[in-house]
Structure 1
Amino acid sequence: MRQPRGDSRGILDPAGLKRRVRFRRHLPAVPLRHWVEHYWLIDWDLSEPFEQRIVPHPAVNVVFQRDGDEPERAELAGVSQELFSITLTGSGRVSGVQFRPGGFHPFWRRSVAELTGRRQPLPGAVPDHVVCAGTDTERCQALNALLTGWAPRADPVNDEVMRLVETIRTDRNVRRVDEFASEHGVSVRRLQRLFLTHVGVGPKWVIRRYRLHEAIERAADGPLDWAGLAVELGYSDQAHLVRDFTATTGVSPAAYAQGRR
């Protein structure tokens, strides 16, 4: 049986996050697993503010958040191309759905690019029974009820796009859009159109984001041959990787690695 993803890719300073909040992942109901990566739950009770930064995945999220005694709010978050930062204070909880890249399209049924870079209240009235409170099981059941109520429909084209994104994620040899398109028997133009419609961002961005996730993860593990890593990840040279890393995370690779150690 598939287990929730165990890596911390995209989370800057994951050890710091886990020291300050309760963070865990759970699988959705079986019929939803084709489209949903996992549910992610966070609870906190802090004596001082805590800022968490995330380098987002090419994925849509649905988020239920409650801060202190405030009413729970429901939000739809499209793929973010910028560094995401949130400051947590006091006590609260978050119950989130991370869709697989491309996995939100069967629920949305329109171009997912409409949501890219946007966070907005969850469209439509949220059913009364969808209140993400109580035990982890109860929170996951509420999310299952919400997503099942949207009645997603299987779509062969969408399945194709999800497979292509998964190939990019797992195969580090995927470095160029034109070569990838040719290998899979699709034109570059069609590949770009499919990714924008079903994922929300283009294939070049997806390739770069997954390679950068790997660079961030490896930077925290110890000293690196950055020139060699740049070649491995398909960058033209070390300087290009360093610029991309710094622009995305807000710190240089050396500063990030030193901070984690």
Structure 2
Amino acid sequence: MNYQEYIPSESLRSYVKCYYVFEAADQKIINDNAFATGCVEVMFNLQGSRWETQEKGKFTHTAKMELWGQIVRPIPIRLSGNSLMLGIRFHPFGAAIFLNDDVSLFNDNIVELRGVMGTEVDELYEQLQDTAAIAGRIVLLESFLHRRLALHEKRRDKSTLVKMVMNELTRDDFFDNIDNVASRYGITSRYLQKIFLQHTGLTPKLFSKINRFQKSLVLIGKGDLSLTSIAYQSGYFDQSHFIREFKSFTGNTPSRFDGENSSAILASPNK
């Protein structure tokens, strides 16, 4: 199994966190779980087997081109056989610039990309398959995203506002409430909650919880800290608070979490 991330061009770096390639080159069955990251992602399954996701105890294949909305609940995933996947991980506020819909509509859903971005993605998919080098594939992705960006210029102001608020929420020394945050930007807290949800799929409170959870995942992956230290460094009130929230996102307590065999740590946006 190989996972590699690539930095976007400067013109797209405000919206795209990274491009990534996931490749499995044997017949081994991979069982894993997808957890909340705070990021919306687009994935192109270019070769071999496609991921399967579990819903109500049944596994089904994902589409060859898919959009992953904000995942809040843990989703079991499985891969059987060789596979090559190319993905785009947007910043939490970034995906809305490129979509025609309210991002919150896709929460806890994995949908076919064509239904969201139109038939233009069919041509992109064929071009990606015909291009072997990763550098060439990234050029294709960026050309596609630049075209989408030009269509939605009017959304940039709101996206920038959400980004600034998000930067406040992720500061280690942030202990303010959302009413005071909104007033600093000359808007009501109700309006801030509305545009935050539309552009990220999350409320400010839920985003803060996910960011804290992802911090703890990265620290667990290091394998050299106690649960008390992880809780403190991740911003939890105490260890019990940490355990309770961690279990709500993963279905397991931190002490029972198998970090060595989880792709969630490898692909964490907080690493």
* TM-score using structure 1 length: 0.79
What are structure 2's unaligned runs of at least 5 residues? Answer: 51-62, 262-271
Name 1:146's counterpart in structure 2: 144
Alignment match of 2:123 (pick from 119, 128, 149): 128
Calculate percent identity across the aligned residue pairs.
22
- Secondary structure of the 2:17 match is strand
- Secondary structure of the 1:213 match is helix
Change (3 A) 1:181 1:232: farther
Question: Which amino acid is the alignment partner of residue 205 of structure 2?
Answer: K
- Within the alignment, does 1:106 sit opposite 2:122 as a pair? no
Change (3 A) 1:135 1:202: same
Contact 1:130–1:145 under 8 Å retained in 2: no
Name 2:73's counterpart in structure 1: 82
- Secondary structure of the 1:108 match is coil
1:117 to partner: Cα distance: 1.6
Name 1:18's counterpart in structure 2: none
- Secondary structure of the 2:67 match is strand
Question: Which amino acid is the alignment partner of residue 67 of structure 2?
Answer: L
Listed one character per residue, the Cα deviations across residues 161-220 of structure 1 (whole Å, up to 9, x for unaligned) are 022223333x12235543762684454323211210111110001111111111122223
Contact 1:65–1:74 under 8 Å retained in 2: yes
Name 1:14's counterpart in structure 2: none
Name 2:265's counterpart in structure 1: none
CA RMSD of aligned residues (A): 2.7
Task: Tell me the distance in 1 between the aligned counterparts of 2:106 and 2:160.
Answer: 20
1:229 to partner: Cα distance: 4.6
Name 1:9's counterpart in structure 2: none
Question: Which amino acid is the alignment partner of residue 34 of structure 2?
Answer: I
Name 2:64's counterpart in structure 1: 73
Name 1:3's counterpart in structure 2: none
1:243 to partner: Cα distance: 1.4
| Matched length | 238
What are structure 1's unaligned runs of at least 5 residues? Answer: 1-20
* TM-score using structure 2 length: 0.76
Aligned runs of 1:1-261 on 2, under 5 Å?
Answer: 21-68=1-48, 73-122=64-113, 123=115, 124-125=118-119, 126-131=121-126, 132-133=128-129, 134-150=132-148, 151=150, 152-153=152-153, 155-169=156-170, 171-175=171-175, 177-178=177-178, 181=181, 184-185=184-185, 186-222=187-223, 224-227=225-228, 229-256=230-257
Task: Tell me the distance in 1 between the aligned counterparts of 2:89 and 2:157.
Answer: 21
- Secondary structure of the 2:252 match is coil
